[in-house]
Structure 1
């Protein structure tokens, strides 16, 4: 599936202005857009006039949703596309401004839906920011614009005031480099220390507040402090149980949680989309969590010419779910539990889906099955009946992954920069292509993981091509965000690790690594690892941290090929490869890359 596979044979266009909706009025457009959507037939296009529209939650459609990796609850929806087919919403360049606790777009049991040509923003953001005036290891003084980011300090506790909401700190504080508009070097969450929401604030007068904590790093006066005070309740676009959804030329300035969230949806395309703040606004943050997140989807997920910057988590996370086996009720029936609280009530699949069972620690395969029926016991438990008896090895404590709901992923011509944490987190057994992108997040640019112990995010990769990308100054945040530009680190342990690998078929070729530190790739438990034809250049944006001794560190890997790589003469010396716990000797390794003094053009700026 790509964007040309979606059926573009639409019916007549309907202009919102013909039904009384005009821009730039500052009136609540929510009730009128609800009426207009009721008149739009399947196969038609709703076109807005250019300009600005405002949406409040009071008269919005209401529906309860469980949002994976975000918070469940009753959602008020501005554009409810429920059970719709062949609908296009064309904003014609409009700016949609949302007020308060409202979810802008929901595509639920829809198909062939296209959203294009508009910007999403909130009048009062769900995070706040201020300028750092002074700092010590136990405090930081901040000047906050009270008109843009209203707040109050009562009895040592700071509360932020929004449109219909008031909240204290939820995830603490975060420092941005004011000049570079990116996370401050090595700062991390809560200035690398401990910050409590209670008894931690003192109002100093003249819009100045002192925040107290036990910080691990000294904040820099003049930098920007982002204050995180709202949970992940309102993505900008949410897709569920849908098919063939295209987001085209959307700009998402802000969202309370993941900007774009999809679960149990088949074929999603993001074309020329952006999750980024408007620099003219002075804001240093975009979405409060990931730019995009896709859970138990299938078909193809396509990113093309997209930009993701300044979000407070990863650019994209694509994965399945490992469900915990809690009880075996016979040969064909299991009780499954939810492992992570952010996956509450996410179903294990539907009848006919193929699944695999894994050891919780080693992730070794224990058996397979096909679902006959699913019964939801409560928000945390499902009873799953299978068509045939299961292997006797499948017992309480192991994990189950749905193999049917796994997507192919293609990411081309995108740019990721200036965000907290990582770039692309990719865990799916189907084809993955990451090509011609510019990547410089504060952590690893690409992370391929998998676990059944904390996040319970599944997806052993089998066919990954990473080629023709430009990796810039990655991993300038804390080491917990990444030890290398590409981190392949499934959380596997136990004696079975030495017998089989979890990931396989990873090819990293013809990329430019413009790095200030040593580590390019860390890989664990991979069969068929290729690092070929890459160029390594010097980057002096930061001092080296030396998180890895060698450029490539491989642990418990099979069939390794490292050859024909080039290194510029001004790159600091370091071993090319470190092999630990190698599983066999079928390796082709050139320990000394070619020296190259020839200038080479970077990937063209997007």
Structure 2
């Protein structure tokens, strides 16, 4: 099937939704080179639950649902989205190939402005009205339009970050009267009233908190208003053998590629980068949770993401209660993980003691399902769990973490690359520039991201302005460790260093540095060897 471009650039949403709905297995849908425009009208509507994002009704432009061996070849086309929509969802499908196109939005997904003045009474921002549609109201709220929607600080907190490059001061913004709680957040909240000025907005500090951001007059400032993670660009769910090749994401709210509970994924020659300056995505570039099989990320570019460049890990659940000798209810811990079921029948699950935070047992899953509560998983086991599981214990599924290869990639101005898979992991021949670094981590807090690793190889990379860190963060000392990390033949520049904790064996060989000596820090319990 061939879709041709239209000179009048009319809405093509209905055509592609119908083409995908009726496409038989084995179909190839091709696009003639050119620009294609997609609006929310005629989009597919469905309820979807991408992890670490908002579970809700989505308006999907390219719904690839329950398909086999489907190829979508853009032929070099540019796909432009004009509303707050979810461009691509692949669910319950096998053998899907997406290739040869770019993704962009016709309106900005965040505001880039300048800090005019900073004082005891507040901050004055200069905002270009020709680029951004914004206003204030009598309640002191700041309102900004995105596509056909307008968002206000009365209904959601905005996000401020100084500088569009590097990791600098940031905070949440709650301006004027608000109707939400600001509890348990990873950053401070700046409470103020928004007042419109000739060239922008004055954020007048009020008495609701003592915090005031330490921004610098004259600095560039990111103001993110579309950061509730309602929509990502690509979502892969419960699917197998997905290939994305020669695809570029130039702008999007939320994440670039997010996937869960899939098997075998290849991202090849993909680009996540703005056309000029600013940010490409307002969250992670690539987030893959509870994958199995193999994940290959090859010859890709990830630049200017507001959160991690790449993150590969599983999830912890906690035992809510025991309901029968072989039954228990498990809880997904984070509010953005509703209806996420990371388990499959036959999985061998690892049990961590909720008090000591040490691994204590392994049990075999028979089945797992949701009923009414979107965070409670009803689990049946093959074995008697009495005395083996207790409320508060944590469960992880290392069988649902993949073999991972990341090679030939360039990462710039992103938070981190996080590797947390029990499968063999290789990170080689990449260049990381001005990122937070490469993290081999297990974090049993906030996101409850499981990640004790068995075999990690980091070789032939350039770390420029960032380094490598390996650790296990469970809120208290424990005996859980990464088993083996090899760091060989890498180049470290501009302050890069290595920090390795909670690891059994570390192999170092052939690394170079622009310093007199490469800084390597351990917790004293790591066996350090040369290859």
- 3-state SS of paired residue (1:425): strand
Partner Cα distance (1:112, 1:162) in 2: 35
2:524 corresponds to 1:560: no
- 3-state SS of paired residue (2:20): helix
Q: Which residue of 1 aligns with 2:412?
A: 417
Q: CA deviation at 1:211?
A: 2.6
**Contact residue 485 and residue 507 of structure 2 kept, 8 A:** yes
| 1:206-264 Cα distance to aligned partner (Å, 9 max, x none) | x4212345434232415243334431011111110100111111110122211101111
Q: Which residue of 1 aligns with 2:306?
A: 312
Partner Cα distance (1:135, 1:23) in 2: 49
Note the 1:582-593 alignment, pairs <5 A: none
Q: CA deviation at 1:396?
A: 1.0
Q: CA deviation at 1:493?
A: 5.3
Counterparts in 2 of 1:202 and 1:87: CA distance versus 1, 3 Å:
same
Partner Cα distance (1:267, 1:95) in 2: 27
Q: Which residue of 2 aligns with 1:358?
A: 352
| 1:105-157 Cα distance to aligned partner (Å, 9 max, x none) | 11111111111111111112332222333334653322222232211111221
User: Which of 96, 114, 118 pairs up with 1:135?
Assistant: 118
Q: Which residue of 2 aligns with 1:526?
A: 503
Partner Cα distance (1:431, 1:294) in 2: 15
- 3-state SS of paired residue (1:490): strand
User: Which of 248, 263, 266 pairs up with 1:266?
Assistant: 263
User: Which of 262, 287, 305 pairs up with 1:293?
Assistant: 287
In structure 2, the gaps of 5 or more residues are 174-185, 206-210
RMSD of aligned alpha carbons: 2.3
Note the 1:503-522 alignment, pairs <5 A: 503-516=482-495, 520-522=497-499
Q: Which residue of 2 aligns with 1:68?
A: 51
Partner Cα distance (1:335, 1:234) in 2: 30
Note the 1:406-445 alignment, pairs <5 A: 406-419=401-414, 421-422=415-416, 424-443=417-436, 445=437
2:512 corresponds to 1:535: yes
In structure 1, the gaps of 5 or more residues are 1-13, 475-484, 540-548, 565-606
Counterparts in 2 of 1:468 and 1:138: CA distance versus 1, 3 Å:
farther
2:362 corresponds to 1:368: yes
Counterparts in 2 of 1:361 and 1:267: CA distance versus 1, 3 Å:
farther
Q: Which residue of 2 aligns with 1:331?
A: 325
Q: Which residue of 2 aligns with 1:573?
A: none
Partner Cα distance (2:133, 2:324) in 1: 58
Q: Which residue of 2 aligns with 1:463?
A: 455
**Contact residue 193 and residue 215 of structure 1 kept, 8 A:** no
Q: Which residue of 1 aligns with 2:33?
A: 50
| 1:456-484 Cα distance to aligned partner (Å, 9 max, x none) | 1112100000000000012xxxxxxxxxx
- 3-state SS of paired residue (1:313): coil
Q: Which residue of 2 aligns with 1:32?
A: 15
Question: TM-score, normalised to structure 1's length?
Answer: 0.80
| 1:352-379 Cα distance to aligned partner (Å, 9 max, x none) | 2221111246542211111112232320
- 3-state SS of paired residue (2:17): helix
Q: Which residue of 2 aligns with 1:243?
A: 240
Partner Cα distance (1:229, 1:240) in 2: 23
Count residues in correspondence: 509
Q: Which residue of 2 aligns with 1:108?
A: 91
- 3-state SS of paired residue (1:221): coil
2:65 corresponds to 1:82: yes
Q: Which residue of 2 aligns with 1:382?
A: 377
Partner Cα distance (2:268, 2:425) in 1: 17
**Contact residue 192 and residue 203 of structure 2 kept, 8 A:** no
**Contact residue 367 and residue 391 of structure 1 kept, 8 A:** no
- The answer to which structure, 1 or 2, has the higher relative contact order (CA under 8 A, 6+ apart) is 2
Partner Cα distance (1:454, 1:308) in 2: 25
- 3-state SS of paired residue (1:87): strand
Partner Cα distance (2:480, 2:59) in 1: 45
User: Which of 159, 162, 167 pairs up with 2:151?
Assistant: 167
